[in-house]
Structure 1
Amino acid sequence: MEFDFAAILLGLTVLFGVVWGLDRLFLYKKRKARLDAAGEEYRDPMPVDWARSLFPVVLVVLLLRSFVAEPFRIPSGSMMPTLDVGDFILVNKFAYGLRLPAFNNKILDLGEPQRGDVVVFRWPGFTCHRDDGTVVHGGNADCSVPVPNQNWIKRVIGLPGDTIQVRDSEIVINGKPVPAEKIGPFTGNHARPADEELLAYGATIWKEHLGKVTHLIARMPDRMPTPPVPNANMPAVVPDNCYLVMGDDRENSEDSRWWGCMPEQNLAGKAFLIWMSWKGWGTGGVDFSRIGTVIH
């Protein structure tokens, strides 16, 4: 079962607010007068007391997570070496505009993603074109299962209107190759599954210059072929209100090369800080060197 935490918070806020508000409007005065007349100490009924106590707490959490910053945990290695498995990050929720919690409708435009931004978004799923001309989305390549309610994290490579070509780890944007310099081999811990795959395929680390952003990527050309761009799911010209996104672990990232562009309305925010990093019991524990790292 999948849980939408924002929807749960919104539902609890409405529930507690309605219970507390209706009680104060219609029941509180009569109940208080009855207890005062009987000489008894006034107390709210337990459901009302819980609603009154929890409503402001849940409301504050909802507002902070929806409009200020939201925590996320990195579950996979698709953004290595920038983001490691077990990193806990903060996401700026107002970088690209304020959106209604749970519904994700933009109510105030404050900016758009820039090339090189690391963004969190609701995964749109694969796009499938049916024989009858309809377009559907699904959680796998043939769209035979529903799109799961998941937040993903990738780096913005292509902006609306850009002409993009991708061949393996080589990227050409509007006719200009994205420059990158090799730093050296990836070094890691064989006991960690995320590191082991990079080590097994002889991954190398590169410094990539993506517009104004300089960041690290991993390349594993021997791992498996990745889809070129353009392809059936991702056209050469990035559509309006859409973004081409890719992981920094270039051969180990299911991204726009596989399922298409990321719609603007699916944006959740911009990743900006690692506030905690847990490498696992026996494989590093807390990685204090990563705590407080600004995400580029």
Structure 2
Amino acid sequence: MGLLTGILYACLAFFGTGWYLGKWSGNFSLLLFTLTVVTAAYWLAERFVFLPRRLAAAATLTHQDGERRAELARLGIDKVDMDVESARERLLAQPWWLDWTAGLFPVILMVFLLRSFLFEPFKIPSGSMIPTLEIGDLILVNKFHYGIRIPVLNKKVVPLNDPKRGDVMVFRYPVDPGIDFIKRVVGVPGDEVAYINQKLYLNGQLAPLQQLDDYYDEDRRTYSRQFREDVGGGVTHRLLVDPQQPSSYGMRARPFPGSENCRYTAEGVTCKVPAGHYFMMGDNRDNSEDSRFWGFVPDENIVGRAFFVWMNFGSLKRIGPFH
């Protein structure tokens, strides 16, 4: 079993190194589920097979020592030079391969349950959600807000809340479901969403914009035009617009499922959101690859609702809730 455990750990190290170096993509939920199952198997084997064997061996040792001492006492020998207790402790000790498998099962199980059904941490890798979320923000995602789903399969079994316009949502990228994206919901099923000349229209109505002070990017040392947008339902958020960027998206959009619901022109794009799908956009409007380019997000791709920055090592003032 020690050799088998060593091989399993070597495979895990090989896979993890390749994943970290970008040699291949991986599904962390599936990996965590696999680790839970494997360590559970070791834990059950320890509980019902290996531990009883060690206990039986220790009991046999104690019994044999008692018989030997009784026989020596019968022969008039009272002093016996033998450390049975030390030998018994060695017999009962867990081998390393059980320490690193069965011993880790409760921790891995707790992480799996918390991550699958309650909250999952994410790190913001790009600036597509500036100014709401900045590169390096470590955020929490509520996994049960939109419903309870079967882990790994992501099949919703208990529906709760529907995504609303203005929600910041983490989802599996429709083009490559192995990658998680984070954007803002701007269109729900049945909505007509139009982004024309750098302005958002919802069902034919311009989403109200209020100009704010320019946003200063400390990393790039540049200023950007900043606005506050109202997507309805009392939800407002800040966004950035770059007047130097072109309005046309027709040449940059790739074919996607449901693309027949969209019209591209020199001024922008207009889409009718189909049932069970959502239209997502980044708050950094001219530096975000979103539904304008790759289409709608189906309900089965939803991971959860982002709601809290729990750490940013470059700026502790970033910690707190956001909308």
TM range (shorter): 0.7 to 0.9
Q: Say which structure is richer in helix.
A: 2
For residues 70 and 24 of structure 1, the distance between their equivalents in structure 2, rounded to whole angstroms, comes to 31
1:190-233 per-position Cα deviation (integer Å, ceiling 9, x unaligned): xx2xx45xx3xx620001111121110000021343527xx863
8 Å Cα contact 1:160/1:239 also seen in 2 = yes
SS of aligned partner of 1:13: helix
Which of structures 1 and 2 has the larger relative contact order (alpha carbons within 8 angstroms, sep 6+)? 1
* TM-align CA RMSD: 1.9
SS of aligned partner of 1:245: strand
Instruction: Report deviation, 1:4.
Output: 2.2
For residues 125 and 187 of structure 2, the distance between their equivalents in structure 1, rounded to whole angstroms, comes to 24
1:237-275 per-position Cα deviation (integer Å, ceiling 9, x unaligned): 101110000000111100000000011111111010111
Aligned residue among 110, 114, 126 for 1:64: 114
1:262 maps to amino acid: V
* 5+ long unaligned stretches in structure 1: 126-146, 279-285
TM-score normalised to the size of structure 2? 0.75
Instruction: Report deviation, 1:52.
Output: 2.7
Partner of 1:142: none
Partner of 1:38: 61
TM-score normalised to the size of structure 1? 0.81
Partner of 1:28: 51
Instruction: Report deviation, 1:148.
Output: 6.3
Q: Does 2:34 correspond to 1:11?
A: yes
SS of aligned partner of 2:100: helix
Structure 1 or 2, whichever has the larger Rg, is 2
Q: Does 2:173 correspond to 1:152?
A: no
For residues 85 and 66 of structure 1, the distance between their equivalents in structure 2, rounded to whole angstroms, comes to 25
1:170-197 per-position Cα deviation (integer Å, ceiling 9, x unaligned): 11111211000111322232xx2xx45x
Q: Does 2:141 correspond to 1:120?
A: no
For residues 137 and 96 of structure 2, the distance between their equivalents in structure 1, rounded to whole angstroms, comes to 40
8 Å Cα contact 1:207/1:215 also seen in 2 = yes
Partner of 1:177: 206
Instruction: Report deviation, 1:34.
Output: 2.3
Partner of 1:241: 276
Partner of 2:318: 290
Q: Which deviates further from its counterpart, 147-156 or 247-256?
A: 147-156
Aligned residue among 244, 252, 265 for 1:222: 244
Residues 6 and 74 of structure 1, relative CA distance in 2, 3 Å threshold: same
Q: Does 2:136 correspond to 1:92?
A: no
SS of aligned partner of 1:90: strand
1:55 maps to amino acid: F
Aligned residue among 307, 318, 323 for 1:272: 307
The percent of aligned pairs where both chains have the same amino acid is 40
For residues 126 and 135 of structure 2, the distance between their equivalents in structure 1, rounded to whole angstroms, comes to 5
Instruction: Report deviation, 1:167.
Output: 1.0
